[in-house]
Chains A and B, each alone.
Chain A
Amino acid sequence: GQQVMQIPQYQHVQEGEDFTTYCNSSTTLSNIQWYKQRPGGHPVFLIQLVKSGEVKKQKRLTFQFGEAKKNSSLHITATQTTDVGTYFCAGGIQGGTYKYIFGTGTRLKVLA
């Protein structure tokens, strides 16, 4: 079946270091979304990418969608303690009645 894998599963960084999480799908996606889940909280939508090769920025966060629409990345520049949480990608499948396929998530810990 369709799967979306994320790496790494965990990442510990010193505050101020950069962080990147990668998302890979076994199938072509119509779009990719990114969510952040704070410890003990629920996932909150960050962004959606739709076009092949698309790059979007939100302050220190940079999101990319691969040319083949099978992979994506989230890069955080100069991490802060407020960036702590688990970052999930979610792929949408074109057409039909399918739903979001969530990645396995990357848990980020930022050490002050």
Chain B
Amino acid sequence: DGGITQSPKYLFRKEGQNVTLSCEQNLNHDAMYWYRQDPGQGLRLIYYSQIVNDFQKGDIAEGYSVSREKKESFPLTVTSAQKNPTAFYLCASSIVSGTGLGNTEAFFGQGTRLTVV
């Protein structure tokens, strides 16, 4: 089955620790995205990548880092610099159309719920 897999589903972090959220896709999509969702709010873009070894900051990149060493994988690290990391994190992927991003269906993973304890 093709799809996008996030792990773990739930993650607890102590204050001051870095944690890494995994996102893997076997859809052969070039573009991958990380979104943060807070209760009652929409999706806010953290980072996105159109191609291996290249990524761009989204609207709320501070306190986060990513890598894109393989097409299939786009891990997100939540660093200790992120002041309020408790949230639901969603990874997505899409193909890249001739006119750029945002023009084709985005496929989402099941999400990771991160809680700082």
From A88, A93, A97, B50 is in contact (CB under 8 Å) with: A97
Structural contact, A33 and B100, CB atoms closer than 8 A: no
Closest-by-CB residue of A relative to B58 is: A99
Tally of contacts, chain A with chain B, CB under 8 A: 74
Contact B100 A100 (CB under 8 A): no
Over the window 15-50 of chain B, the binary record of Cβ atoms lying under 8 Å from chain A Cβ atoms (1 yes, 0 no) is 000000000000000000101000011111100101
Interface flag for A85 (CB, 8 Å): no
Within 8 A of A (CB), among B62-117: 90, 92, 99-111
User: Shortest CB–CB separation between residue A34 and chain B, in angstroms?
Assistant: 11
| A97 touches which of B56, B105, B111 (Cβ 8 Å) | B56
Whether the pair A45, B42 counts as a contact (CB closer than 8 A) is no
- The answer to whether the Cβ of B59 comes within 8 Å of any Cβ in the partner chain is yes
Using A102-B43, A105-B42 as known contacts, say yes or no to A42 and B102 having CB atoms under 8 A apart: no
A45 B106 Cβ-Cβ under 8 A: yes
**Chain B contact residue count (CB 8 A cutoff):** 28
Residue pair B101, A102 in contact (C-beta under 8 Å): no
Please, how many residues of chain A have a CB less than 8 angstroms from a CB on the other chain?
Answer: 31
B residues with a Cβ closer than 8 A to A are 33, 35, 40-45, 48, 50, 56, 58-59, 90, 92, 99-111
Q: List 28 A-B contacts (CB under 8 A).
A: A1-B59, A6-B42, A9-B40, A30-B103, A33-B106, A35-B106, A42-B90, A43-B43, A43-B90, A45-B106, A45-B107, A88-B42, A88-B43, A90-B102, A91-B102, A92-B102, A93-B102, A94-B99, A99-B58, A100-B102, A101-B102, A102-B35, A102-B42, A102-B44, A102-B45, A103-B42, A105-B41, A107-B40
